[in-house]
Amino acid sequence: MLNPNEPIQRRALQRQLHTFVVYAEDKPGVLSRITSLFRRRAYNIGSMTAGHTDVPGVSRLTVVLESDDAEARLIEANLYKLVNVLKVEDLTHVPAMKRDLALIKVKANAEARPQVMQMIEVFRARIIDVAPESLVLEITGTGDKIDGLLEILSPFGIIEMVRTGGVAMTRGSKATTVHPHFVHALVPQDENS
Amino acid sequence: MKRTGAQLIWEVLTREGVDTVFGYPGGAILPAYDALVGYENIHHVLTRHEQGASHAADGYARASGKVGVAIATSGPGATNLVTGIATANMDSSPIVCITGQVGSAVIGKDAFQECDITGITQPVTKHNYLVTRAEDIVRVLREAFYVARSGRPGPVLVDITKDAQNQEVEFIWNEAPIALPGYRPDLSALPEEFDRAMQLLSESKRPIILAGQGIIMSGAEEELRKLVEAAHVPVALTLLGLGGLPDGHACNIGMMGMHGEAWVNTAIQEADLLIALGMRFDDRVTGDLATYAQNAKKIHVDIDPAEIDKNVKVDVGIVGDLKTVIATFNERLKPQKREAWAKYIDESRGEAEQHDILQAADEGTLYAAHVIDELRKLTRDDSIIVTDVGQHQMWEAQYYAHNQPRTLITSGGLGTMGFALPAAIGAKMACPEKEVWVIAGDGGFQMTACELQTCAQEGLDLNIAVINNGYLGMVRQWQEMFYDKRYSETPISSPDFVKLAEAHGLTGARVETVQEVAPAVQASQGNARTILTEFRVVPEDAVYPMVPSGKALDKMIRRPRKEPAIRQDT
Ligand SMILES: Cc1ncc(C[n+]2csc(CCOP(=O)(O)OP(=O)(O)O)c2C)c(N)n1
Ligand SMILES: [Mg+2]
């Protein structure tokens, strides 16, 4: 349910990128359960990353997808129905940092190289491999920033590129924001704090 | 105390209070079947197909409120369970399915009868497990029973490798506590939401309660009755909600939806407040969402937060167990009277009843309605009716009167033909003292008719009514109404049902006229074993009223007042 005091109609209809952080038990098949849920309910995942956390046995996923607020609450509710999911945060309306990482292999012969290096500097990317005819760059930043670098590099010729998809974290010292419907949601570390 | 994994399965089942399981043996589950011999407290019913086992477990669960158990071997045994699992999932029925799996060393090697059943059933179970070590069996099975019955109930599948069944481990019951840190079935409602709900109810002049199966699963029948009497609110029921409020109760206005009563659907469209209790606004009950109860504020109470705002956006959503939530409503309620609204609904009911086939002149034609009406008169309030899927299912819902919960067992969400007979076997095993009726169509009955032999082997006393219209009637009805009467592949022949029953060592009977119905029903009741009675009804009758799929709820096709043609002899 949406908070009755909020102007639900306007916000609910607005589609935007929602970023969810999902804590799940680190068990075989959990990723498949989560992707299967998105497939079955016809939610279109923009990106999804998964990795360990500081708590043994707990993994953390960042899922980015386009939805409106009403659908976002349903996505959250459905994620909670997965028995292995511990906690879900929707970071869309809270101050949060979002980062993507990309490796880019770009053509850069002796002639083009100085120009490429200049761009790299502006975007604070790093060179991690050098070959006679190409460079491999590493860049972290928001999705927009990476898009920007790619656009500028494309005239030189991008040979290969890989992006991790977004990861995200709230700002400030508080760790989480949990929807009031799901107040029981906890990861083991919460109980101690 | 050392036990094999196979013995541990039965140890847990025993401690979970399981007295009956439904299943079919095979290679990968052989160790479990071998160990079963040592557990005389557990009765195993050998169904004739694993689909029958999962439906029977489902029927057992729905009749008793306890967890039903089905067991099968790997590969084809496991895949045969799937239809029953999906059926239980759609109707939130608590079952635990145990399957054997090939040895853990050959998983992923396409071993004989290997099949990724946890992968296959992932979208149709509440949760599932693959167990490869005997030491996990006790914990996992305990979790499976807990997950299946708690919160919004549902099916859980536990796939156990053959080597895990064979391993010996130390068995200490208390040392296998359940470990489900992410599972929270006990969400409770927020207090502000009650305030808003009570305010909407006190302001409403034309409220309707939409009561679903949640009332029955939560055991909230008494709370519901108190609520509707104090607040004077008419109650419409979903198909699976029938029995949640006695049919004879003054506030019970009947079933809603595609084949709901005309006055009920009209009243929903004209209401100023809908209070949905344990129902999920399925498309079969809402019709076109854009025109659904447009002027009504909406309150939705459900135990599953993912149901709130799923199909119908609501003004107040309350997440919680209905029994507690309605009890809280009742504490806060100020009694109200809404005479004008009640009178209005009563009047439109009177008008609609003139369309009823039972009011029509008797031309000697046997309609399914006659059969159901006779069953209503001759059975008891606690008799259990298990229906299949199709026209007969809707006629049962319209013409039978369910006055107690758990007296109608039917596949609502998935609409699974073939459900009735095996589910009735499960219901009878759960409630041996109750009279159990199967009402099935000639089409659906043929899908799982092999379970007649299960009735014979178990010596069960079921009453089976096959409503034979010579057609896949519900599909024929759609072809009649929406496909220019092109009856593509809907005429269906049947075996001689009397001989079929006899071939299984059971009794068969045939009824072709209205006069024969009551004596046949009584004869069936008097028979101590399973008896199949075939009712040859008019071939081309249709279920009315009908809201065409995707149309507004009050745009119903009504029964033409002109009588349909007398049935031709086939
Ligand atoms: C397993 C399955 N297959 C197909 C359908 C589609 N279907 C719904 S009702 C129906 C006809 C049922 O015919 P019958 O059992 O004779 O019952 P009747 O409608 O004639 O009462 C069919 C084919 C279904 N619900 N389930
Ligand atoms: Mg038929």
Tell me, what CATH number does B22's domain have?
3.40.50.970
What confidence category does residue A4 fall into, taking pLDDT thresholds of 50, 70 and 90? very low
Check whether the bond before B545 is cis (ω within 30° of 0).
yes
pLDDT at B450: 98
Catalytic-role residue among B90, B258, B279, B474: B474
Spatial separation of the C-alpha atoms in residues B552 and A108, rounded to whole Å: 64
Pocket test for ligand 1, best of B410, B416, B417 (most atoms within 8 A of CB): B417
Q: B18 and B177 in contact (C-beta within 8 Å)?
A: no
- The pTM (predicted TM-score) of the whole model is 0.94
Element (H, E) at A87: strand A85-90
In this structure, the answer to whether residues B237 and B330 fall within a common structural domain is yes
| Ligand 1 pocket: which of B474, B544, B567 to mutate (most atoms within 8 A of CB) | B474
* d(C-alpha A140, C-alpha A147), whole Å: 11
Number of CB pairs, chain A paired with chain B, less than 8 A apart: 74
**Position in ligand 1 atom list of the atom nearest CA B445:** 15
How confident is residue B140, by pLDDT bands cut at 50, 70 and 90? Answer: very high
| Beta strand A158-163 pairing with A96-107 | antiparallel
| Alpha helix ranges (H) inside B181-296 | 191-203, 213-218, 221-231, 262-270, 283-286
Query: What is the pLDDT, as a whole number, of residue B192?
Result: 83
Whether residue A191 is predicted with pLDDT greater than 80 in this model: the reply is no
User: Which of A6, A35, A81, A187 to probe the B interface (max B CBs under 10 A)?
Assistant: A81
A92-105 tens-digit pLDDT: 888 999 999 999 99
Q: In chain A, pLDDT over 90 holds for what percent of residues?
A: 65
Does residue B9 fall inside a structural domain?
yes
Q: What are B452's two structure tokens?
A: 């007649």
Q: Looking at the structure, tell me whether residues B311 and B417 fall in a common domain.
A: no
List the catalytic residue out of B7, B22, B50, B66.
B50
Evaluate whether residue B396 is within a structural domain.
yes
A10 touches chain B (CB under 8 A): no
Q: Do the domain assignments include residue B545?
A: no
How far, in Å, CA of B433 to CA of B436, rounded? 9
Query: What pLDDT shows up at residue A5?
Result: 41
Residue B555 is assigned to a structural domain of this protein: no
Quickly state the pLDDT bin for B179 (edges 50, 70, 90): confident
ipTM (interface predicted TM): 0.91
Question: For residue B565, what pLDDT is reported?
Answer: 43
- Give the separation between CA B28 and CA B244, rounded to whole angstroms: 42
Say whether pLDDT at B314 is over 50: yes
Say whether both B201 and B158 belong to one domain. Answer: no
**Among B326, B350, B374, where does a domain finish?**
B350
Interface probe with A: pick from B92, B310, B316, B318, most Cβ of A within 10 Å: B310
Per the CB < 8 A criterion, the answer to whether B530 and B462 are in contact is yes
Q: Do residues B302 and B345 both lie within one domain? A: yes
Q: Indicate whether residue B467 lines ligand 1 (CB < 6 A).
A: yes
Distance CA B345, CA B419 (A): 35
Establish whether B269 is a catalytic residue.
Answer: no
* pLDDT tens string B66-96: 999 999 999 999 999 999 999 999 999 999 9
- For chain A, domains (ranges, CATH) are 16-94 (3.30.70.260), 97-167 (3.30.70.1150)
> Contact A177/A89 with Cβ under 8 angstroms?
yes
Helix H or strand E segment including A135: strand A134-141
CA distance B102 to B29: 9
Nearest by Cα to B232 from B200, B198, B205: B205
Alpha-carbon gap, residue B539 to B472, rounded angstroms: 10
Torsion of CA B438, B441, B447, B452, to 10 degrees: 40
What sign does the CA torsion over A119, A121, A122, A126 have? positive
Q: Are strands B273-277 and B207-211 parallel, antiparallel or unpaired?
A: parallel
Domain boundary among B350, B379, B401: B350
Q: What is the pLDDT of residue A175?
A: 64
CA–CA gap between residue B179 and residue B99 (Å, rounded): 22
Least confident of A43-52, A135-144, B441-450, B537-546: A43-52
CB atoms within 10 A of CB A152: 16
Question: pLDDT value at position A1?
Answer: 38
Q: Which residues of B touch A33 (CB under 8 A)?
A: 122
Residues in a beta bridge with B161 = B101
Q: Per residue in B489-548, pLDDT tens?
A: 999 999 999 999 999 999 999 999 999 999 999 999 999 999 999 999 999 999 999 999
Residues B47 and B108 in one domain: yes
Place of tokens 């009467």: B485
Mean pLDDT of the residues in chain B: 95
Range from A42-51, A97-106, A155-164, B154-163 carrying the lowest mean pLDDT = A42-51
The answer to whether B218 touches B212, Cβ cutoff 8 Å, is no
Domain residues for B154? 2-170
Q: What is the number of structural domains in chain B? A: 3
**Claim to verify: residue B284 and residue B401 sit in the same structural domain:** no
Cβ(B392) – ligand 1 distance below 6 Å: yes
Q: Are residues B33 and B150 in the same domain?
A: yes
Residue B24 maps to a domain: yes
Query: What band does B486 get if pLDDT is binned at 50, 70 and 90?
Result: very high
- What's the pLDDT tens digit per position in B2-52? 999 999 999 999 999 999 999 999 999 999 999 999 999 999 999 999 999
pLDDT in tens, B221-232: 999 999 999 999
B368 and B495 fall within a common domain: yes
State residue B139's pLDDT score.
95
Instruction: Using the 3D structure, point to which of B295, B316, B350 is the last residue of a domain.
Output: B350
* Beta-carbon count within 10 A of B41 CB: 10
In a domain, B405, yes or no: yes
Q: Is the pLDDT of residue B316 over 80?
A: yes
**Number of other CB atoms surrounding residue B247 within 10 Å:** 17
Closest CA to B452 of B511, B509, B532: B532
B470 in the same domain as B447? yes
Contacts of A41 in chain B (CB under 8 A): none
Residues A47, A50, A56: CA angle, nearest 5 degrees: 160
Regarding whether B239 and B136 lie in a shared domain, the answer is: no
pLDDT at B570 over 70: no
Q: Are B314 and B281 in contact (CB under 8 A)?
A: no
Report yes or no on B186 lying in a domain. no
Distance CA B326, CA B278 (A): 11
Burial code of B116-152, b = ≥16 C-beta within 10 A, e = fewer?
ebbebbbebbbbbbbbbebbbbbbbbbbbbbbbbbbb
Shortest Cα distance, chain B CAs vs residue A164, angstroms: 26
CB contact under 8 A, A83 and B182: yes
Q: Are B277 and B142 in the same domain?
A: no
Please indicate, yes or no, if residue B388 is contained in any of the structural domains: yes
Please check whether residues B257 and B371 belong to one and the same domain: no
Tell me which of A45-54, A154-163, B29-38, B309-318 is least confident. A45-54
| Structure confidence at residue B204 (pLDDT) | 97
